[in-house]
Structure 1
Amino acid sequence: MYKSISSTQNSLVKQIAALIEKSRDRKKSGLFVIEGAREIALAKKGGYCFKQLLFCAEIFVEDPTRLTTDHTEIIKISEEVYQKLAYRTTTEGVLAVAEAKDHSVANSPLENDNPLVLVAEAPEKPGNIGALLRTADAANVDLVIIANPRTDIYNPNIIRSSVGCIFTNSVITGTTAEILQFLKSQNIQIYSAILQDSIPYHRCDFTKPTALVVGTEATGLTEEWRTQSTQNIIIPMQGEIDSMNVSVAAGILIFEAKRQRKFK
């Protein structure tokens, strides 16, 4: 019924392995790999198209067509092939080769006339990016922006650590200059989490169109955000350290904004 692949030396298997391992191949082809039924289902819900769906019948016992989109080629693979391609050992025996979306600023999906936006500048660790995406999904923010990205957003570690929330969030990327221009063109207030010229975050009004901007723990935000924000903000610290994990900081700011908006 379905095409079968049993050899790890198959050319398609090698191509998929390269997509998993190399950002260069993902960018060149416009394709990436999703592992796991939950993640694939979220990508389908998020409007992604799948070129191929590969399943191992010894592990994945459901009907694979429930996870496919139009024109998806379904391929049955051996356990040996699955083990070669699987990034995790606990997934359900199914992978999809998906078409990447356009995440440029010009393709911003912003529709809400009173948006809440999360901006993260130059996040590098996939685990932090995944946590930011999970927080954004939990709060149902309107847009996530990665400024000066250092990591391919279809990195398997980001997909894994976000538990598929990369597909449930609206995400765009661009340079800091592009993002600042975009936010100002949309009349969105910019609140940058930075020490200089700042006030405590809870003293700000986040009920209007708002962008909450966070940087890395190591370097913080660049000077552009300090000088061009509506207001710089801090989270008052009462312990011995002077910083916290970026995803934790983002969560505090986002849910304060949601509280002010009465969780609308």
Structure 2
Amino acid sequence: MPKDKITSLTNPFIKELVKLRDRKTRKESNFTLVEGFKETGLALESKAKFEQIFLCPELFGEDKKGRKAKVLEEITKRKLPTIETTKEVFQKISYGERQEGILGLVEPYLYRFADLKLKKDPLFVVAECVEKPGNLGAILRTSEAANADALIVVEAVTDIFNPNVIRASLGTVFTIPVVSCSNQEAFDFLKKQKVSVCIAEPNFPTIYYDADLKQPVALVVGGEKEGLSQFWRSHADVQVKVPMFGKAGSLNLSVTAGVLIYEAVRQRNELIT
């Protein structure tokens, strides 16, 4: 494992890592940070390239399920470059409250539509203008859990590989294809694949479980502030609502996405069973 150790908070390498909290720096360098054993483990299974891994054994904690040992074994097996740090140094480069003593400097793989390998009746999730990393991470996690063909992030406001998105997704941003593009590019791709566009708003007449989501479909959700743009409203093939029975006017967008995604899963599983 690590032959070198960083003990100084003023180490130039550490200063550069801290800069990666800034979106502009991540974009210019094509690098981001992945922290945590689960997240790092999933990144190791993906096409992401590891430049360096920082370890602080003092923060490893218990390993009841053996997950941490497996990640460390994989790092050793692949001979990835590792550096040990002190607890103080690690806390400086860490970006989350849950510190497990492992952080990777990675170059993520950026998917294109040409990379996608689609199922017979593909299921896509489209997230438009999502601002909060927690919401985007939650949508990623749900989409991956449902085995969606891809998440398409359109008119991106939040960096897909923001460390907080990675953390909120529990690393699933690395295990589901994610394409970032414009509204028009996404729509052109969906139409070429003969995929219907489904949107949801509380005032639509059709309840979501009465719509046909077994067909090739893209479930589109809008941002926190403005909701769906006119672009998707005008191009929707299927319009549904998630009924509101209380005084709340709407659901959190990641919750709406989850409801629609798992309704599509339910309908498709009925065909199988």
Instruction: Give the equivalent residue in structure 2 for 1:230.
Output: 237
Structure 2 Cα separation of the partners of residues 233 and 144 of structure 1: 20
Pairwise CA RMSD = 2.1
Alignment check: 8 A CA contact 1:130 1:159 kept: yes
SS in 1 for 2:197: strand
Alignment check: 8 A CA contact 2:51 2:104 kept: yes
Instruction: Give the equivalent residue in structure 2 for 1:23.
Output: 23
Shift of 1:68: 5.9
SS in 1 for 2:126: strand
Instruction: Give the equivalent residue in structure 2 for 1:44.
Output: 44
Structure-to-structure mapping, 1:1-264, within 5 angstroms: 2-19=3-20, 21-60=21-60, 64-67=72-75, 70=78, 72-103=80-111, 105-194=112-201, 199-262=206-269
Alignment check: 8 A CA contact 2:201 2:242 kept: no
Structure 1 Cα separation of the partners of residues 36 and 162 of structure 2: 15
Change (3 A) 1:211 1:198: farther
For residue 23 of structure 1, what is the amino acid of its counterpart? R
Number of positions where the alignment pairs a residue of Structure 1 with one of Structure 2: 262
Query: What percentage of aligned pairs have identical amino acids?
Result: 37
Change (3 A) 1:14 1:91: same
SS in 2 for 1:199: coil
Structure 2 Cα separation of the partners of residues 161 and 108 of structure 1: 25
Shift of 1:70: 4.6
For residue 246 of structure 2, what is the amino acid of its counterpart? G
For residue 14 of structure 1, what is the amino acid of its counterpart? K
Change (3 A) 1:46 1:68: farther
For residue 17 of structure 2, what is the amino acid of its counterpart? I
SS in 2 for 1:261: helix
Q: Which runs of 5+ in 2 are unaligned?
A: 62-67
Deviation digits for residues 146-190 of structure 1, max 9, x if unmatched? 111101111121111111121222111111111111111111111
Q: Which runs of 5+ in 1 are unaligned?
A: none
Alignment check: 8 A CA contact 1:217 1:243 kept: no
Structure 2 Cα separation of the partners of residues 172 and 158 of structure 1: 15
Alignment check: 8 A CA contact 1:50 1:68 kept: no
For residue 122 of structure 2, what is the amino acid of its counterpart? P
For residue 230 of structure 2, what is the amino acid of its counterpart? E
SS in 1 for 2:32: strand
